Chain A
Amino acid sequence: MLHVTYLIILLPLVGFGVLVAAGRRLGDPAAGVVATAMVGASFLVSIGVYLALLQVDAPVRSYSQNLWTWIPVDRLQVHAGLYVDPLSMTMVLFITGISTLIHLYSIGYMKGDKDYPKFFLYMNLFVASMLILVLGSNLLVTFVGWEGVGTCSYWLVSFWFTRESAASAGKKAFVYNRIGDVGFLLAIFLVYEKVHSLDYQVVFARIGEIGSANVTAICLLLLVGVMGKSAQIPLFPWLADAMEGPTPVSALIHAATMVTAGVYLLCRVNPLLHASPDAALTIAIVGAATAFMAATIACAQQDIKKVLAYSTVSQLGYMFLAIGCGAYTAAIFLMVAHAFFKGLLFLGAGSVIHGLHDEQDLKRMGNLRAYLPVTFITFAIGWLCIAAVPPLSGFWAKGDILDNTWAAHPALWVVGIVTAAMTAYYMSRLTGLAFFGTDRWSERATDAHELDAAHAHHADGAVSEPHESPWIMTVPLWILAFFAAAAGVMAISGSNFSLANWVDPVFGSNLYQNNLSSAALWVLAVVDAAVAVVFVLVGLRLWTQRSERPALEGSFLRGAWYVNELYDTVFGRPSERLAAFCADVIDPKVIDGAVNGVAGAFRGSGTLLRKTQTGYVRNYVLGITFGTVVVLGFMLTRMWWG
């Protein structure tokens, strides 16, 4: 079964090909069904490969497959190769599984969209790229997937391209990612310079030859790439804008999978991080700072998707905190659990938006539990998961990270626990505003249709009662809710579900051992649980009765610490001015001016020359043609006769 690993990638790619060729003819819903089937099939193959991988003994539990030689130039030999081990397999399983569910959901969500087939085409290409990213056996193949998911993200964020904000958001996402990619590329170059290979296994075997300063440089350059892709400080602002994309896109790309690519990459290069404590500490600090900052912003957002977006940034911060501490398994644990509960929350939010005819403003929701019972129950599970209320998965996953942080960097633990409190608070605020309290959606003005650019079937214009979504959208909600709630079983050591049993061997001695006593672990767990429960109650209490509390929603937080404005002032506008200066002054006046000046000098130097130069260029040119033809003709005749 292992030798068909390539099928995992090929199947969604075939779906993409089919939709490029015949998407319009298939139409709605056949195009969606084809795309879903392809991703579903890929999931089934993944399970097969997983079972086959289980048969391989733990210390050497891996399989590599070289498909073809991609870039061979002299010593640089890059192969299109795949590498399967418990780490990449974990990624593959949850990527294909969740993708299948979100594809299924999209069949209902995107119904009636004029570009329905194109949506699924992009989605299939995205899944294929994401799988290339995690299955690549060398840095460059990973980079292919890395860029591929970025490109698909660009297409999907600007999917409703007639809306200026969507078009700009897509571009912004791409450019921010591109800035990160410079770091990634430079890391690749440096690795090649030192070991003349990009293959992960070769590089790790020869870390000693790289030199510790270079290892740190490589790790930090990769971190720059990660900051772009996983929306960490300072490259995080694009993720909130990316919410312009259709909600299933936000769920799949901007919560469950693509943004976790950075977590995967850093786990993949764990031997490098282990060799560079400085880089690891930097990652931990960046993660903790991002977790904190994004959580504060999430506390004051008004758009349901923006709250979830900043929450994603914050949760990703936790994962990098864990990686920085060397607790890779904890990071993966939260990544998987987060994929379930954040995917669930986004799909739930999509169901709300769908039910309210494209309303995203929390202040115009309220009491939706009465109208959207399924959405409410499943959403509530997601909410309690992310708030880390025991015994749901978030409690175990976040607890694992906080325990390790406590042992490794107590100061960062404080940041972590404060952030945990904020997480419980802002998610309860969101839930309170949307599902509890009074029906504010009925007050909304008719101008809400500004937001509606895509859902042609909602063009009636009347404010009707919120409606529950069709089964094709609620079934994925139930499934995700089940996994979000139950994913905590991965924490039970020694069981068949144990994540540690499965992935720990990948990291071996690079994994951080916290050596905390069981008493300390108990105390930490109680603290985590208490913080979660208390702040869930605080959030609910504050936000079910009233929907306006200006004191808690300062403009600094609403404006996301004014980072966008800062970047615009410091980088954006000056570079625009520089570009305009180059285009309007340097190029035409200075450089071309010098050229024309030389020409003018010649012109002025002789009146005779002037006549031949300006008046007769055409004849002059004809003269050259004639002359050349004669010369060539002469040569050819000489050639044959001589």
Chain B
Amino acid sequence: MTATSFPYLTTLVLLPAVGAGVVALIPRKTVASWFHEAVGVAVTVLTLAVAAAVLFAFKSGTGAYQMVSTHVWATGLGIHWSVGIDGISLFLVVLTAVLFPLTMLGARVRRDPRSFVAWVLLLESACMGSFVSLDLILFFLFFELTLVPSYFLIGGWGYARRGYAAIKFFVYTFAGSAFLLVGIVSIAFIHKSQTGVLTFALPPLMHTHLSGTEGVLLFLAFTAAFAVKAPIFPFHTWSPDAYSESPTAAAILLVAVMAKLGTYGIIRFDLNLFPQASRTLAPVLLTLAVIGITYGALVACAQRDLKRLLAYSSLAQIGFIALGTFALNSQGLSGGVLQMVNHGLVIATLFILVGWIYERRKTWQIGSLKGLQSPAPVLAGVFTVAMLASIGVPGLNGFVGEFLILIGTFVAHRWWAVAATAGVVIAAVYLLWGYQQVFHGEPAEVDSTTRDLSLNERLIVAPLIVLIVLLGVFPKPVLDRITPSVNRLVVHVDTVTHTPIPAGLRERPLVAVKAPCMLNGVQVSCSVVDSASPGAPATTKGASK
């Protein structure tokens, strides 16, 4: 079996799901209690190995989808099992694959590990599926499927107000998804009315012609789901409850991986399907992003609970990602994609550490902790590195993403960037304040016996810290893979935005639109766009006839 024909991505999606089934089928009584966890870790490590293979097999320098595999499911309905990967999804897949085993090792539960492991594995499968789906219905299924394990993880292993948090999370995100489903069906039928082909595959739908109003309405329908999931201000109020009431593992996965489904969805679907509306509504989204950055940071300043503080800091960070996205240029979008990975790594580290603090002290109230740096210097040191990465200190990964986002936004929409840059100051205020309260000062009696990180714990955070530093110092290999896909998207947005809808839609063939367009101020020939179109549409179109 050659490297290209092996169905890497399908394996990536199915492996954890199969693992979940296996774990669920191993009876609880007959094996030692750690056995299910061991199987779970083994499955996630295997998935990581597949993801690593994907990373190595991925060809840099091209923006097209790679490793595409498309199989027709329902001919009449135009639904496909269509998966593929490009620079935008590649590192999110790798991030997911890296974080799941670490989470499983770093945030274990006491009660019923079997079900816990099964749900976590199912969640990994759903996340992977969401990141690699190139068919809208397939994406929707995975996107929705993520809700289920998260609901049970929060409800089953959460803290005092877990019931409330789980239902709020579920109903809120599910409500957003209802709009998404309506949007998906609508665009497919608009596309059918123009071409006579009913398909849910992303590549052909990208070329659907939408009137201004249609575009805006559909954009809003899609964005409703994604903005809740991310979350983007003002759709964030489920998140502090969900993050703080979740067991550590679910909190990490919710904030580090699942939040990215929202921002990823915006980039992958909103920008590709509704370029015109994305451009029209960019100022609105930019404004919400800037509000998220400053407001999130401001509210974080007033939190008295470490997990809620991190939840609001996350709102600010997601704001940065949205900001870069709607800069709609190469630097902003590349920064946004990179920042998704960066934020995932950093916030996962912080949540794991906060979880460990809870294990030791049974609290994450900032007021009940003091002077932990004296008894636990390594814990404090690791926390500091992750905190500085979150603040955006150069040399660590957070800076590279934030810098690209801000410089991209500055070039496109100067004053939004200026306001967001000011938000950087507040991030330093609340994180350093929280750090000072928890780690500095003379430890009280109960604090002074806090255990420092064990060897196992050090080994769990070590890869995260290494990645945080590595991506800060040498992000080139990552950017070299992200940028071509981002540029392709930018060109698509610019082309569509600058091309009037032709009369006689039905006769219009879906091939090269020879129109000059701007890529970051440079004239490029757009004939490149369609000739470089993904391999997927060819097979898709052929198959769907």
Q: Given A76-B407, A583-B302, A583-B303 in contact, is the A621-B170 Cβ separation under 8 Å?
A: yes
Determine the residue in chain A with the shortest Cβ distance to B410.
Answer: A189
State whether A143 touches B373 (Cβ < 8 A): no
State whether A639 touches B441 (Cβ < 8 A): no
Give every chain B residue within 8 A of A68 (Cβ-Cβ).
Answer: 474, 476
Instruction: Provide the A186-200 mask, 1 if CB < 8 A to any CB of B, else 0.
Output: 101110110000000
- Of A157-165, A310-318, A348-356, A432-440, the one contacting chain B is A157-165
Instruction: Provide the A572-613 mask, 1 if CB < 8 A to any CB of B, else 0.
Output: 000110111011101110011001000100000000000001
- Of A247-255, A507-515, A625-633, the one contacting chain B is A625-633
Determine the residue in chain B with the shortest Cβ distance to A588.
Answer: B237
Q: How many A-B residue pairs have CB under 8 A?
A: 183
Distance between Cα atoms of A388 and B335 in the complex (Å): 51
Contact residue among B302, B424, B436, B439 (Cβ-Cβ distance under 8 Å from A582): B302
Distance between Cα atoms of A208 and B167 in the complex (Å): 61
Contact residue among A162, A178, A579, A582 (Cβ-Cβ distance under 8 Å from B442): A162
Contact residue among A185, A576, A638 (Cβ-Cβ distance under 8 Å from B301): A576
State whether B404 touches A587 (Cβ < 8 A): no
In chain B, residues 385-400, which have Cβ atoms closer than 8 Å to a Cβ of chain A?
Answer: 388, 393-395, 399-400
A151 within 8 A of B: yes
CB distance from B539 to the nearest CB of A (A): 14
Distance between Cα atoms of A74 and B393 in the complex (Å): 23
B38 within 8 A of A: no
CB distance from B94 to the nearest CB of A (A): 19
In chain A, residues 142-183, which have Cβ atoms closer than 8 Å to a Cβ of chain B?
Answer: 143-144, 147-148, 151, 154, 158, 161-162, 164, 167-168, 171, 174-175, 178-179, 181-182
Instruction: Provide the A48-71 mask, 1 if CB < 8 A to any CB of B, else 0.
Output: 000000000000000000001111
Determine the residue in chain B with the shortest Cβ distance to A628.
Answer: B145
In chain A, residues 100-126, which have Cβ atoms closer than 8 Å to a Cβ of chain B?
Answer: 118
B199 within 8 A of A: no
State whether B418 touches A73 (Cβ < 8 A): no
Determine the residue in chain A with the shortest Cβ distance to B430.
Answer: A579
State whether B418 touches A186 (Cβ < 8 A): yes
Give every chain A residue within 8 A of B421 (Cβ-Cβ).
Answer: 182, 185-186
Q: Considering only CB atoms and an 8 Å cut-off, how many residues of chain A contact the other chain?
A: 69
Q: Considering only CB atoms and an 8 Å cut-off, how many residues of chain B contact the other chain?
A: 77
Instruction: Provide the A425-464 mask, 1 if CB < 8 A to any CB of B, else 0.
Output: 0000000000000000000000000000000000000000
Q: Given A580-B302, A624-B144 in contact, is the A162-B371 Cβ separation under 8 Å?
A: yes
Instruction: Provide the B117-152 mask, 1 if CB < 8 A to any CB of A, else 0.
Output: 000000000000000000000100100110110011
B185 within 8 A of A: no
State whether B302 touches A617 (Cβ < 8 A): no
CB distance from B313 to the nearest CB of A (A): 13
A72 within 8 A of B: yes
In the complex, which of the residues A72, A175, A621 has the most CB atoms of chain B within 10 Å of its own CB atom? A621
B278 within 8 A of A: no
State whether A74 touches B170 (Cβ < 8 A): no
Give every chain A residue within 8 A of B428 (Cβ-Cβ).
Answer: 174-175, 178
28 A–B contacts from the bound complex (CB under 8 Å) = A71-B404, A71-B479, A73-B334, A73-B404, A74-B330, A74-B334, A75-B330, A75-B522, A76-B407, A161-B373, A162-B374, A171-B433, A179-B425, A182-B422, A186-B418, A186-B421, A189-B410, A190-B410, A192-B407, A576-B302, A579-B298, A582-B298, A583-B298, A583-B303, A592-B237, A614-B167, A617-B151, A639-B81
10 further A-B pairs in the complex, CB-CB below 8 A; given A162-B374, A628-B141: A68-B476, A148-B393, A158-B440, A161-B440, A171-B432, A175-B428, A178-B425, A576-B301, A579-B299, A635-B79
CB within 8 Å of B: which residues of A? Answer: 68-76, 118, 140, 143-144, 147-148, 151, 154, 158, 161-162, 164, 167-168, 171, 174-175, 178-179, 181-182, 185-186, 188-190, 192-193, 575-576, 578-580, 582-584, 586-588, 591-592, 595, 599, 613-614, 617-618, 621-622, 624-625, 628, 631-632, 634-636, 638-639, 642
